[in-house]
Chains A and B, each alone.
Chain A
């Protein structure tokens, strides 16, 4: 048995050495992406704290429902329902993520009860006035990027963990980023920090992912994300309540027809 383990370890290390940085980068991302495979569906309440350079805060609260689409060549489906500010209450955004084609998105405007198909070409635009771009939410699919392993080092938020540092390059069109650098820990395979570089290659934003909690089925979720924009001094916090998984949401709950009867 011991011999087997040693043999496996030797084979594994050979394998690692034979890997190109691109392959290793992809493998690290894939291991992270696949670590929460099988969550099926989730529901979570989120508070968004938007802060300008002077420190003035605006809060938005919203509900996010997600449906896992197991096929990696297809994207997940998500539904965001806004609660506050009160004047936008009931506004909803339905997204059918696609990998390299533009996502399908519909916006529901409660004042008119109107469902509108919207363009998803606006990848790099701010999401509801926050420091998160649309693509920061929708581009979490494995095959939306190509990868390159850089190095390993202590994780930025928690030096007791070791992180793999991987560069990733958007493979989809209209991205506002030339590249991103992601720190993924080697213990739970979760992304701990991401740096975003604009099209010119200048560092634009840093995202910290904190307060990871484990749910049944070895599913990990961050409960605090902090995005800081280095150019404007503005920042956005995303604070998550407890997730609910396998809530019985099905494909029919993510059709455009449901938007008019969400509340």
Chain B
């Protein structure tokens, strides 16, 4: 039987060959939940009669959505997570360690070929590593914390082949926004998306993570990046799709002429080339989230801002993907460049992207952001207008006071 990457990885975890459409009960290699989803997961785990985790070494809880605690309600939810992890012996990443998806990859809690569950919709990010990773809710996660298993329907797959060298200043973010426009926010509902082609095969791990991360914006169950060219700091065995594997849809794109792309309010599929938006005044620029705030993103912003000053009346907030990213950027001088240009750094975490902590825009304010979603109210104010773009575009726009492409 010829199989897609999803079919291969799921087969390995259910002990028999499966094909799209099959219902499978699978063994799971690891799980994680955040402070947005752990409290309900812990509650459900207790209600299920859970006394101990199926494997405490495979469970990670991360405090990243409202970190450090902004009020007593959240403080008590964080305390609940700390107490639970101490009792159960599972891993806890406390405030400031970083964004869940960055930490799972950095610390290799998820590896190529794994089947991983995260109580966060951007869990498909690990598809960059050639892992089958799906986002679930709190109760599904609790059930896996108890049993080490979950059930799933083997997804049909869409194959996207991307060729052509991206022009200077055009990034993985521009590419995924372009693909989102092509497929739409429900274009891959219940399906897996496989990304392949020479453009993808030459990408860094960080850029692959951008692509896999935003497959969730297409409604995809997961996004899997072709492991050709993937470089990791540990040995691994890649899982490739079979040559004649069956796809529900196959699309090819040549992106050598692609311009920087921007998603307009209020949907990540509402994408246009930057040229249509030139001159759009902004109040607030944000570089953050599980999508785009890794070292290469901070470098891209620093390249734009070096020796310059933010436009008058524009604020730039940066939340690095993790403490390790922050420390690396500190050592190589990137933080100094960005801070001197006027950027404000906040704790590594998700807050402004999801409107759960800090950096809320005011009524009618216009935001350019390196994040993944711009649904109405997403950043905490339904009266704000949020545009999505690459870190380089965010930095250049912060400098100009309006949406512009980097020089």
Q: Do A and B bind each other?
A: no
Name B's A-contacting residues (CB within 8 A): none
